[in-house]
Chain A
Amino acid sequence: MIRVLGRTLALALALAVLPGCCWLWKPSGPETLVVVVPSRHDGHVGAVVVAKGEERQVLDSAYATARVKSRGHVHRTSLSAEEVQRKFAQASAALPRKSMAFTLHFVLANQTLTPESSARLDQVLAEAANWEAAEIDVVGHTDRMGTPENNDALSLKRAEHVRRLLIDKGAKPEAVTAIGMGERQPVIETADGEAEAANRRVEVIVR
């Protein structure tokens, strides 16, 4: 009788303890860590909104950090610059270079580059040489003299002319794209029909 009681008791005890022990043993599941850092390019600190279900937390200061597990709330904390560097060194080193933009100008209503702009073509190629796989976008723009349609055509013609010059200097043809933006993206806003040297340009982006 006592034996049976003892056995029952042992079984009951085991059943009571088992869920507890297994809950402790259960693997903790995925965890996310997010940290906002100052921009390597200009030091600017942006913001990331961390959402989990209905909960939202905004990280908007340097090294503000959040940890998010499957269960529970978003946990806010802060990492040191050294900890971030240690954790993310390899990912950070793999980040591509920032794209570089060069602006080239033309002699009025002509396809001839100004002398300074001709020299800038070499800078474009020097920058492209820094990349393992550079793409070069050549984007033509005009001022507001003439019709929008003519300006679309002229801007593309200028872009294609610059593309050709870059290829002649050694750029890979498949890596260089010419695009015509017409008069739609002026640097300086003007009335229609007005000549504006600053808007007569080709932008070259190495990325």
Chain B
Amino acid sequence: MRQLRKMSVLLMLLVLAPAAAADDVGQVKTSKGGVVIVRDGQELAAPAGTPVQQSDRILTRADGSVGIAFRDNSLLSLGPDSSLDISLFSFGARQAADALEATLNRGTLSAVSGKIVTKSPEAMRIHTPTSILGVRGTEFFVEVTNANADR
């Protein structure tokens, strides 16, 4: 009986897991030079049209740059030698508040806020090694220098 219950829990997890992981939060719209997405420890090529998911790390090489459009029309782009983690994205979900959280580990970031910020200011946050940026609107740039190159 106990084993049966254990098995049914396991089965439920198996059924639920793929559905949660398949959620695309945005798409690569521009991609130049060396650009990769690190997902589940794997490095994937990231030409224009590649879907972006929560928990992805976006990396650009010395000759790379990349632009991403999120489902709420937030726009983020990276210059060369940059690293950005997509920590959290939720838009229009019934069970969660709208939020966009990303971490710039190093390099340069260009950003234009989208509908998430229009509806709830500061629901978009950019984390850096030394600060947290609460976004109330529109366009800004961020640079992180002298950071840990491993990230």
Contacts and interface: CB of A to CB of B under 8 A. Distances in A.
Interface of A: 27-41, 44-52, 59-60, 66, 68-70, 74, 84, 87-99, 131-133, 135, 207
B96 to A, nearest CB: 20
Interface in B112-137: 112-113, 122, 128-137
Contacts of B78: 91, 94
A163 B114 CA distance: 25
Contact of B108 (A69, A74, A87): A87
Given A90-B79, A133-B29, A51 B133 contact: yes
Contacts of B141: 34-35, 37, 84, 87-88, 91-92
B129 A37 contact: no
Interface residues of B, number: 48
A191 B142 CA distance: 48
A95 B112 contact: yes
Interface of B: 27-30, 32, 48-49, 65-69, 73, 75, 77-80, 82, 106-110, 112-113, 122, 128-148
A61 to B, nearest CB: 12
A86 B3 CA distance: 64
B88 to A, nearest CB: 17
Nearest to A49: B134
Nearest to A58: B136
B27 A133 contact: yes
B19 to A, nearest CB: 18
B138 A46 contact: yes
Given A92-B77, A132-B48, A133-B49, A32 B129 contact: yes
B138 A33 contact: no
Given A35-B141, A49-B122, A70-B129, A91 B68 contact: no
B108 A50 contact: no
B61 to A, nearest CB: 12
B145 A33 contact: yes
29 contacts: A30-B128, A31-B145, A32-B130, A33-B142, A35-B141, A36-B139, A39-B138, A44-B138, A46-B136, A46-B140, A49-B122, A51-B131, A66-B131, A70-B130, A84-B141, A88-B108, A88-B141, A90-B65, A91-B77, A92-B141, A94-B110, A95-B67, A96-B30, A96-B68, A131-B29, A132-B30, A133-B27, A133-B29, A207-B73
A31 B130 contact: yes
A96 B140 contact: no
A52 B110 contact: no
A97 B80 CA distance: 19
Contacts of B48: 132-133
Given A32-B131, A133-B27, A96 B136 contact: no
B117 to A, nearest CB: 8
